[in-house]
Amino acid sequence: MSKPKATRNACILPILLGLLAMVMVPEAAFAESSGEDSGQLTRTDSGTLASLQAEGKLPDTIDPSIPDDATLISKDIAVTRAGEIKDVKTGAEVWDTRSVGSAEVQPDPLAKTNGRRFIPVSVKDVKNHTEQKNVQSVRNAAVKREAVERAHNSNYFQRGAFAGETAGTGAHVLPASLPNSSYGAFWGSSSNGSPAFYQADGQLFAQQAKGVIDVSEWQGDIDWQTAKNHGVEGAIIRIGFGWGNRLDYKAQRNINECKRLGIPFGIYLYSYAQNSYEGAAEGRGTVDMLQRAGVQPGDLSYPVYYDLEFWAIQGVGAAPRSPQVNQGMVNNWFSQLMTNGYQNLAVYSYTSYLYSALNTPDIHAKTTWVASYGSRPGFRFPNNQRCWQYSDAGRIPGIGGLVDLNAMGNLTFVDDLSIVWIMREEDIAVGAAVNSATSNLEYRWQAYDIDKQSWHSITDWTGANWAEWRTGLGNYWLHIEVRNSSTHASIGTRTICFRYVPGYTAMTGTFAGWTKQGVLLGISSNNAGAQYHMKIYDYNAKQWIKDYSGQWATWNPKPGSYWTHYEVYTSDGRLADTRTYAFKV
């Protein structure tokens, strides 16, 4: 079956409507519920309702026979607690298999909304929102006049949201390739300079943030190169819906193009499961579709998402409302994918559903992608990694029509690439620790000799994240590059200053003493295979006058002032340690 993915394609909201909605409509509190059967959805946030209203997705009238505890799954269709699928305007049952399927057919979940995302909402919330909207109509007119006046200030808006500094937060709005939210959430930069996404109130949602779109066949043939050129940094691709069904008609093309162009991607499957057994069936089906599409675990930069939303199919029923039933479905779906090597998994849903039918600690812990079209996501992400689907109405060059927009990143900064090293007897082993979902990685090491002002290669591209670095004593920049081995997309680079000492080979002692034959010079080290040199510098003549090889040598000096210089080398002749002393005869 398919999902009514929270309005996947919608009309772009005018900036003015976004401002009005944010000013006029207070954000609703999010209720939480638990128990065997959570009943209807918890209250939907006002931002989502305002978005649906502004885009013409809410019905103008609702037939009196539709009960308040019914759930609206599209502008025209509501599902009662008894599982009846009703026409919102007439109250008659709906039998269109394209929209609501049948006992034999799981429909494309986006078909009933013509490819546009729709977050299911309760009929009661829709009625209350409509009443509130009517009551506020007079006040809205005044607010509208004020908003229009403010909009004349060219600095007030920037890319569809507020420009300048958000009061009291220190968050700066910066031009972003992906549009800002129509309800005030905006792109900017964090205190450490990384790209960031902020709620409308200026609170940080995520730093190290990337602009990600999620797509299906409803976006048609995407010009991915153009989309990438205009700021698309990643994609989440629909693989299919339910189990025993076809692949999304554009899934293979979208996957191939992301691989070809080095665009990081993840996958989602829309769920039609009603119990644990069907959750396992969807898990097996997801694995089969991934393998048919040629997606290996290492190809995925983002998770494979289990898309859980409220749905209804004629002759089958509706999505389970019990958190315990949904927990069993999630467990079995995860188990099937993990058994087949897909470890990077997560849940996608929308806020009201997460705090009702999906309200378990474990499901919440697995949820990293949430849809909410208001000024804030409204979900308390338990993980550092998070993704907010903040709009269903984005316009991106290269994509016909509308597309969902997401901000994906971390709440606290994560070092994506760090360098580690181990001192060995005669060299240094250097390694890279990479924070990446994909295991298809290649590494290239280089070093810049600061003293000689020249680069040299440590290793060319290799699948090994460790390398043997052999060079001479000196000062260097150690440089590492990491890329996806399949797409050659850059994962990251890092450069550090490094004082190179060839392993832990070092002098343990030197000697200079008079004997009958002259001055006996000696040197020792902790390396049994080391090589040794001792040199004499005539301070008065300003030149080197002696060069001895070996651990011992006899020198017959004339009266004067000298420097005795000792050098120890690794077994392959790289300088490891030196010492110099003054010597008077």
What are 423-470's pLDDT values in tens digits?
887 788 999 988 877 778 999 999 999 999 999 999 999 999 999 998
Q: Residue 500: pLDDT band by 50, 70, 90 thresholds? A: confident
Same domain, 227 and 319: yes
Same domain, 492 and 525: no
433 alpha carbon, distance to own chain's centre: 17
Give the Å distances, CA to CA, from 435 to 338, 347, 483.
Answer: 20, 21, 12
- DSSP type of residue 339: H
- Min mean pLDDT across 47-56, 180-189, 514-523 is at 47-56
For 233-250, how does the pLDDT look when each residue is reduced to its tens digit (9 = 90+)? 999 999 999 999 999 999
Q: Tell me which of 390, 410, 430 is where a domain ends.
A: 410
Q: Residue 579: pLDDT band by 50, 70, 90 thresholds? A: very high
**Beta strand extents in 435-489 (DSSP E only):** 441-449, 454-462, 466-469, 474-484
Q: Looking at residue 136, what is its pLDDT?
A: 52
Same domain, 54 and 145: yes
The residue-averaged pLDDT of 108-122 equals: 88
Contact 512, 582 (CB under 8 A): no
- DSSP type of residue 113: G
Assess if residue 9 is contained within a domain: no
What is the 3-state composition of the chain as percent helix, strand, coil, each rounded to the nearest 5? 20, 35, 45
Q: Looking at residue 408, what is its pLDDT?
A: 97
The first and second tokens of residue 445, run together, are 């090491």
Same domain, 511 and 494: no
The residue-averaged pLDDT of 201-225 equals: 97
29 versus 71: the higher-pLDDT residue is: 71
Report the mean per-residue pLDDT for the chain.
85
**Beta strand extents in 9-94 (DSSP E only):** 71-72, 77-79, 85-87
Q: Looking at residue 525, what is its pLDDT?
A: 93
Q: Residue 177: pLDDT band by 50, 70, 90 thresholds? A: low
pLDDT tops 80 at residue 214: yes
Residues linked to residue 240 through DSSP beta bridges, in sequence order: 247, 269
Assess if residue 560 is contained within a domain: yes
Residue 446 sits in a domain of what CATH number? 2.60.40.10
Same domain, 528 and 405: no
Q: Looking at residue 50, what is its pLDDT?
A: 75
What pTM was computed for the model? 0.71
Q: Residue 18: pLDDT band by 50, 70, 90 thresholds? A: very low
Same domain, 476 and 572: no
Q: Tell me which of 500, 518, 537 is where a domain ends.
A: 500
Same domain, 30 and 161: yes
Q: Looking at residue 578, what is its pLDDT?
A: 92
Instruction: Count the domains in the chain.
Output: 3
Same domain, 162 and 305: yes
Assess if residue 2 is contained within a domain: no
pLDDT tops 70 at residue 174: no
Q: Tell me which of 387, 410, 433 is where a domain ends.
A: 410
pLDDT tops 60 at residue 287: yes
The residue-averaged pLDDT of 273-297 equals: 98
Q: Dump the DSSP string for 55-87.
A: TT-S-S---TTS-TT-EESSSSEEE-TT--EEE
Q: Residue 47: pLDDT band by 50, 70, 90 thresholds? A: low
pLDDT tops 90 at residue 212: yes
For 127-138, how does the pLDDT look when each residue is reduced to its tens digit (9 = 90+)? 887 766 655 544
Same domain, 390 and 280: yes
- Min mean pLDDT across 124-133, 233-242, 408-417, 575-584 is at 124-133
pLDDT tops 50 at residue 142: no
pLDDT tops 70 at residue 62: yes
- How far apart, in whole angstroms, are the C-alpha atoms of residue 582 and residue 153? 76
Q: How many helices (H) and strands (E) does the chain have?
A: 11, 33
Q: Looking at residue 128, what is its pLDDT?
A: 82
Same domain, 448 and 551: no
Q: Dump the DSSP string for 116-135.
A: -----EEHHHHHHHHHHHHH
Q: Looking at residue 43, what is its pLDDT?
A: 61
Contact 286, 269 (CB under 8 A): yes
Q: Which helix (H) or strand (E) holds 288?
A: helix 276-292
pLDDT tops 60 at residue 222: yes
Q: Looking at residue 485, what is its pLDDT?
A: 87
The residue-averaged pLDDT of 346-357 equals: 97
Assess if residue 467 is contained within a domain: yes
Q: What percent of the chain has pLDDT over 70?
A: 84
Domain that holds residue 484: 417-500
Q: Looking at residue 302, what is its pLDDT?
A: 95
Assess if residue 381 is contained within a domain: yes
Q: Looking at residue 9, what is its pLDDT?
A: 40
The residue-averaged pLDDT of 78-96 equals: 90
Assess if residue 4 is contained within a domain: no
Q: Which helix (H) or strand (E) holds 430?
A: strand 428-434
Q: Residue 286: pLDDT band by 50, 70, 90 thresholds? A: very high
Assess if residue 8 is contained within a domain: no
Q: Looking at residue 46, what is its pLDDT?
A: 66
Q: Looking at residue 159, what is its pLDDT?
A: 34
Assess if residue 10 is contained within a domain: no
Contact 200, 160 (CB under 8 A): no
For 290-339, how does the pLDDT look when each residue is reduced to its tens digit (9 = 90+)? 999 999 998 999 999 999 999 999 999 999 999 999 999 999 999 999 99
Q: Looking at residue 352, what is its pLDDT?
A: 94
Residue 209 sits in a domain of what CATH number? 3.20.20.80
Same domain, 452 and 332: no
Same domain, 404 and 421: no
The first and second tokens of residue 423, run together, are 């001192």
